[in-house]
Structure 1
Amino acid sequence: MTIMTDAGVTVRWRGGYGRLWSAAVLSRFGDAVRNVAFPLVAAGLTTSPFLLSVVSAAGYLPWLLFGLLGGALADRVDRRRAMWTVDVVRGVLVAAFALALALGQAHLAVLAVLAFALTTLQTLFDNAATAILPTLVPRAALPSANARLMTGQALAGTFLGAPAAGLLVTAGVALPFAVDAATYLVAAALIASLPRPAVGVSVRPAGSTLRSEIAAGVRRLWRDRLLRGGCLANLLGNLVIGGLQALLVLIITRWAGASDVVFGLVLAAYGAGGVVGGLVATRVGRWVGGGAAAMVLALAAQAGCLLVIGGVPHPAATAAALAVFGVAGMVVNVHFVSLTQQRTPDDLLGRVSSAERTLGAAGAPVGALLFGALAEVTEVNVPALAGAAFLAVSALVVRRAARTERLDDETVNRGV
């Protein structure tokens, strides 16, 4: 089977891309199942809000501590081998915890350690996965390949994994973790079967250290105006999303006046929007003239959505705005990842992507605290209005970066 992209480049589904897609979608299904069960298990082990927040923080902290290191390692090692090895280790860890749950030996400290360990391993896996895709498909086909990958993950996580988790939990609290462990091991087998010639290991200069290699990746990101602008926009976007996630239940129920049943339907609208966004992302890029322009349009649309969410107190308006917000968010993600892959040399891609992810990861907790404090002293809808301003700034940042780079290219082409 082949996929014809908008650029007229053919992607072979039966080659490495199809196996990578299958592994990523299967892993997302397992992650969604585990992510639903995780807080339920934690709440059964303690009633302390502080201890529950510690477990949650343990799942985010590794990106700040080890994100850059994970990118440097992804550029040093055989990425295929690193990915399947990480999946095997994660499968064993989750299986061991499932066994502990089944035997009644689970403790909150073990849950926190598991969350920390899984995210630590993810820092290597995700950066290696970003870097490996350009070795499996032509660079011109990356937006289409990324869109299909992210759409499959959104479908598996939102519409398959999350509902399945509820059924599995009722059958036994250990069962979701056993299923997650199995998905890791199957995904590892799929990744291990990727064609070896598609994956290369960069040759390091004599005397090179991890610190100097990380610095080289950060410098590469900083010197690329477009990626630097996209990275700043990503930071502001994660700040807004982190704040919204913390307050969304209050915005939907208290401000928009939705019942508990309607609350779930409103959230489902966001997930559906993400799937639609994956289906139309490459078309949007073609219509507006490229990935950077698509990002500007999508960020501006997200700003408008937050104005509706914060300004119209009605569940239907909130659901519609969240759906469009999800569409636009997927468009931003597809094109930012694709631009990073297209504009970064293969031997630096792990480090550049890790720098983007690490900076972006810092935005969510800051946003949760900032928007929470703002809601405390104003009204619960005000943070959504503030978020609109942040996203409008993000759109302007990307637009300016793209325009500056275009002017520089025109100057070079004229020989000035």
Structure 2
Amino acid sequence: MAIRVLFPSSSSSSFSTAHATPTPRTRARARWTSRQRLLCCFSSSTSSSDEVSSSMTVSITGATGFVGRRLVHKLLSEDHKVCVLTRSTSKNKAASLFPASRYPGVTIAEQEEEWERCIKGSTGVVNLAGMPISTRWSPQIKKEIMQSRINVTSKVVDHINSSTSTSSPQPEHEASSNANGNGPSVFVSATAVGYYGTSETDSFDESSPSGNDYLAQVCREWEGRARQVKQEHVRLVLLRIGVVLGKDGGALAKMIPLFMMFAGGPLGTGTQWFSWIHLDDLVDLIYESLRNPAYTGVINGTAPNPVRLSELCDRLGQVVGRPSWLPVPGLAIKALLGEGATVVLDGQKVLPARATQLGFSYRYPYVRDALKAIAKQL
């Protein structure tokens, strides 16, 4: 990206006066001007072709969802192109969210051949699709939760493998560039911290084993399908995502109205761990995973400071100016959600060891700051 430098006017500069006796002030200006000239030389040597080579085309499933919408906006703001991979039942929603008149950088793909064409022409693919899990789990719903993730992931993997079947393995330095034009070079596939099971005492990172409950099984199957991508051609990133905090979706979209009506409080005991991440940090993490070849394998999509649910509710009450005094008994949640109550009544303390190791910079490492930022948007 070219860097523009504004120089001081020569008429106001002490350097325009010949044979002037150097002073500490003029020497300081001389040093500053030298730095400016160096910076200008660097800027002029940055060609437009360098900028074009860093441009991405990204195909996204789940682009109309809470996280997907923000990711699309992030990519477009950075001058990348996006292909929204959608189903026929969601095409109208995609078209209303990303009208061609306002989003010329977005292509909406519905048919099988459109998915294939988009994926083959993409630099990277992001898989965010999946049915929401915060509902009553009947046997049929549990089947749909599983299949919604496995089917889409399998479809994406098949198209990626097909598009790279004739290509040669890419060197690591080309892992984000699609320089060969033979399909995407990176596949970022969402999974969830449910992989680890639940615990009030243990901590989990990317090296921890999987749990033995239903959500852990879903995550294992989900990741298993993603791992079928040809990793000799495609860099695979598996993001195990925690509870995403944002104004327009996720858990907070349901909690904030209750707090505003003075009916907010912790769910169940409040002692369960809450592994969270601010929406902006998650989008930044996905974006960095697309661009940075060092991001590979399993990465926990959580903030570095998980909290107990009672603390989250206390902080939320503080930032919206409402008390957190009305806890919802676990029995009431179980009556409403049945087995699905495990999503809110059980938790796990998940730490982002890999993101920390990679030097990822969080905008909101603490839940207090995350909630304050969200409250300003209300």
- The normalised TM-score by structure 2 is 0.27
**Greater RCO (CA < 8 Å, at least 6 residues apart):** 1
Given the two structures, how large is their TM-score scaled by the length of structure 1?
0.25
Structure with higher Rg: it is: 2
- Structure holding more strand per residue: 2
Higher helix proportion: 1
